[in-house]
Structure 1
Amino acid sequence: MVSKDDVLNALKRVADPHMGISIVDMGLINDVEVGEDGNVSFTLTPTNPGCMSVIHMAGGAKHVVSELEGVKKVNVTVKGHMMEDDINKILGDEPIEKK
């Protein structure tokens, strides 16, 4: 079973494109939950409510976590962005789910 540490280590591979620092080290990742069923969820809070790179970072985060063995589904929620509703709809419309 995948652990919270596994998820955080995978997320360290995703960097803020402007800073070149991982989204974990920048403190942008919160509320990591790993279910026994292989479902993983977490929130990403950008440093700027108008951050133009948030969709790129959230999509990258969703992708690297989905590659972990034992992960069936990944749910990323963006919080604190002026377009979070639209961004979360886009992220939710493109589920990464393994059988």
Structure 2
Amino acid sequence: MVSEQQVKEKLEDVKDPEFDINIVDMGLVYEVNVEDEDVHILMTLTTRGCPFHGIFEEVINQELSELEDIGEIEVELTFDPPWTMEKMTDEGRNKMGAVPGHGMGF
């Protein structure tokens, strides 16, 4: 059976095309749940009007389908809470060149 850790590792291969940073480090993935072989991902986008919203589900499905013993994949979008740069990992901030207190919204 696929694990939440395996799913999260594969999600690190999915990049936000606007920033070229993976969606985990961007802080877009709020929750990953695996029940039996089915995967549910709760995520957000940087903005409600993000032009890439349709791309993420397709790329996520493509990446996760490479895992063995995976069932249905559900990607649920939410904007509650809305994404902010504070949700980014330290690695994501470093990749973006964001330094707290230096004009990057921190």
TM-score range, shorter-chain basis? 0.7 to 0.9
Over the aligned positions, Cα root-mean-square deviation in angstroms equals 1.5
1:2 counterpart residue number = 2
- Percent of residue pairs identical: 34
3-state SS in 2 of match to 1:24: coil
Residue type of the partner of 1:41? H
Name structure 2 gaps, 5 residues minimum: 80-106
Structure possessing the higher relative contact order (Cα contacts under 8 Å, 6 or more residues apart): 2
Partner of 2:15: 15
Q: Where does structure 1 lack aligned partners over 5 or more consecutive residues?
A: 81-99
1:40 counterpart SS class? strand
Q: Tell me how far 1:79 sits from its aligned partner.
A: 1.5
Structure-1-length-normalised TM-score = 0.75
| Contact in 2 for aligned 1:44/1:58 (Cα 8 Å) | no
Q: Structure 1 runs of 4+ off > 4 angstroms?
A: none
Indicate the structure (1 or 2) with the bigger Cα radius of gyration.
Answer: 2
Q: How many residues align?
A: 80
Query: CA–CA distance in 1 between the matches of 2:56 and 2:15?
Result: 7
